[in-house]
Structure 1
Amino acid sequence: MRNSGSTVEEYRFEVAGACAAWTTVEPATLSLYPGDVESVSVVFRPPRDPSVPAGETPFGVRVVPTSDHAEPVVPEGRVTVAPFTEVTAELVPRGSHGVRRGAHKIAVDNRGNTPLTVGLTARSGTERARVSFDRSELTVEPGRAAFAELRVKPGKHLWRGTPVVHTFQAVVTPPAPESEEPAAPPVVLDGSYQQEAVLPRWLPRALALVCVLALILAGFWYGLLRPAVKSAAREAITPEVIASATTGTDGTGGPNGGSGGPSAAPAPTTAPGVAPTAKATPTPRPKPKPSAKPKPSAKPLPPDVPTSAQVQVRDAVGGGPSSGTALTVPSGKAFRLTDIVVQNPQGDAGSVVVTTGEGSRFLTLALENFRDSDYHFVTPIVVPAGGRVTMTVTCRKVGRPVGAPAPGRCAESLLLGGTMQSVKP
């Protein structure tokens, strides 16, 4: 620094640029007499952190005079930050278990200031398992983490017995540095995989328990239930039941008034010294009378016809109610109403009444409570021949649809659904 002026001047130094956070000027202020020359030191202390990238970084030192008549100056320069390598890794989880394979993930953190491409290798602690990565290399940006998958697969299945533990090592190898900085050592991670048996250890015990329960149930059946069932069956076979099954009656006597079957005849009785009389012949059974022939049935009615109808009613505010008939049932028919839909698309206010005949009102709704209202009846509403399904609208306020001009009258519609059924005259 040189003071080319004619007065004593004091200068203040400020560092500008990306390196200002880790750059200082020593001393921070300097006083010079006219014609004097002094030096200050610009000291760079970049932290060993991924936030400071490797390479050239421009900077400037702003020299600010304290007097008002002098203008500040900004000499500029460049500082080169050397690269450094620092790698950490973690195996997640450290131990796994399963029947067929073990799954792990390795997280590699680049704590250096340059992008790194690390090598991934794995070696098994035993010859009974194979360990492999899903990729051989992994590129990690500064200050970031990258992940790779590692799988452990046993050589053969373990059907039953004690689980087997397979140990392995995952090795993360950083690249060789281009500068004179010493190479970073590889990161070695230890892990394990526990191979479970295909047949769980509790399966033999469960099978033994099932066999014991089956034997207990079989003993309970043969020892208690089966004898009780046989005893109840024997007690149910009484002489009355046997006689009823033999004669085809309820056990009070056969068709001839006796307890025997049709061929059973009373034994002849003779008194001493009297000649036996002739055997009594059985009374013949009466022959059943032929039943009358059924009369031919009447001609069947035609099947029900699905029927629907619709009506729209418009009504102005202040006048009387307006009505419209949706359906008139013809003679010899009956309409079975099962579905009804009432629509109020404009959002009008008022009332709507649906009738099925003279004074037969079955639905009354307030228009301001709905836009679309539908009803479905499990038990159909029957409208006889000559009946009319009518909708009556009383408009109190005309609604206004969204994004459309206001209409002049209320507008509602009615949709009916059901079947038209023929009735006997």
Structure 2
Amino acid sequence: MLNTTLPFPLWEGFTPAKIEQHTDSLTIHLSPTRHPICHCGSVSAEVHDTSIRTVSDRSIMEYAVTLKVPVRRLCCPRCGILTEKINWLEPYSRQTTRLVLFVENLLTKLPIKHISELVKLHWTTVKNIDKRRLAREVKEPDWSKVKRLVMDEFALFKGHRYATVIADADTHQVLWINEGRSRESIRPFFEMLGDYCQQIEAVAMDMNTAFDLEVQEHCPNAMVVYDLFHVVAKYGREVIDRVRVDCANKLKHDKLARRRVKRGRWVLLKNRSNLNDKQAGYLEELLTANKDLMVVYLMKEQLKDLWYCRSQDEAKKLWEIWWQQVMESGVQPLIQFAQKLKKYLGGITASAVHPLHTCRLEGMNNKIKVMKRMAYGYRDTAYFFLKIRSVFPGDPR
């Protein structure tokens, strides 16, 4: 146990009265050297009471530092009974401002677990410091410039628990995230948007009825644009996969041919331009040997053309041709899909006016999944959402 006074003022208004040295840490007892100062700036001579607060500070050499700070409550004539102002210690904080700034600087370079071990703070304490930093640094968007939106969902936890993310279609800034994918879950976003809802021109989404209805209710001037990626993915699951399985079942007598069809899923779903020579040959073999697969594959390619029309009238004419060919094909999974797709026709032809898609947002979702996997999940969803918004601040206009 040492009694000493440090020659430089680490703690303004206080001086070490006693230092206890342990194996790998120091406990420093401070004593005040001046009259307490109120947050209003007045110097108060009357102390209501004093309590000892245990505070962590930056390490000195290899020793972790714990401070015992006598924090006084004042009887201020202007403010009433209030805790004194200490420049190097935020109100109610258990870490000095110096330590907090040091941790915030490390948070841009190291994972929380490593910082926790380095500065001898609990993981949750470091996380809370980071959460406050993000809340301070994440910028609110300029809502007056937001004209077009993209909306999508991603898996938040196992067990079909999802979150909805909404981004600016032009700057790709993540504007808002919330748990759930129902109308009630996304309604707070439009309530927050307020009068700016009137200026929204288009919203890109998948064929989610909840998203569609909420946009129609709050954004009367917005056109709903259904994303090509989601429609084609749905076509792959409900049409191509179904027809492929049916074709395989018809080939039970020919095990080799049946195996070829069953294993042909990915060459049927991939874009032709992404196939190598071997895969292209495999695809041609499948389509030549199976008429129904040939039909649904060609109809998929024609369906994509709807998103590249120059006008809504052109898109509607192309739809009528596609619809007629579907009805004449006699392939039931294809006909059923077309009947379900018909009620979403307005959102498909709208892509001729607003050529929006959620591909960039899908890329964001993939990065979000990587963040979640690297952290082995986030228990604090508010913190996770702040991390996402900080990673996607948007492109400058």
Category of TM-score, reference length = shorter chain: under 0.3
TM-score (norm 2): 0.17
Structure richer in helix, relative to its length: 2
- Of structures 1 and 2, the one scoring higher in RCO (CA 8 A, sep 6+) is 2
The structure in which a higher percent of residues are strand is: 1
Higher alpha-carbon Rg: 1
